[in-house]
Amino acid sequence: MPKGDFKRKMDDSQRRMVEWARGRNGADELSSACTNVAVLLVIIDLFAHTTVLSVIALVLLGYSWFRITSKDVMARARENSRAISATGPVITFIANPVAFAREAKAYVHLTCPSCGQRVRIPRGKGKVRITCPKCHTRFDGKA
């Protein structure tokens, strides 16, 4: 096959991928977390042989795939932010532990005493006065 043909084929399949992904939700924290938990369950089940764990993993993978390919982006975004605020840092951590660790090293997370909004401050700033972006309450923190 001449080189030009090969390149054209690549471009074509890439274009099809982009076309397919257009208007779909894609991977967010919630679906990544589901996928990672599913992989973890499969690995555990390799040793535990419970079948139940594998079935749960399959359901989680199905749910994750449904989220990634869903065209109702608004509804999925709502679920994602609701899940994140309901579980605190848990989902963000499970979704991408490496990014989570990097984030935790670079920023301090503070919680607004009035509305519970989480605010992040770059580490090493010392004592800071924070204005909550949500309710505009002022509070002191250390970063």
| Cβ pair 109, 119 in contact under 8 A | yes
Q: Should residue 110 be labelled a site residue for Zn ion when binding is judged by CB under 5 A?
A: no
Q: Should residue 114 be labelled a site residue for Zn ion when binding is judged by CB under 5 A?
A: yes
Tell me if residue 122 falls in helix, strand or coil.
strand
Nearer to Zn ion, 33 or 132 (CB): 132
Among 115, 120, 125, 140, binds Zn ion (CB under 5 A): 115
> How far is CA 62 from its chain centroid?
17
How many Cα atoms are found within 13 Å in the side-chain-facing hemisphere of 6?
3
- Shortest Å, Cβ 118 to Zn ion: 10
Q: Should residue 16 be labelled a site residue for Zn ion when binding is judged by CB under 5 A?
A: no
Q: Write the CB contacts of 70 (distance below 8 Å, at least 6 apart in sequence).
A: 24, 25, 76
Q: Should residue 117 be labelled a site residue for Zn ion when binding is judged by CB under 5 A?
A: yes
**Contact residues for Zn ion (CB under 5 A)?**
112, 114-115, 117, 132, 134-135, 137
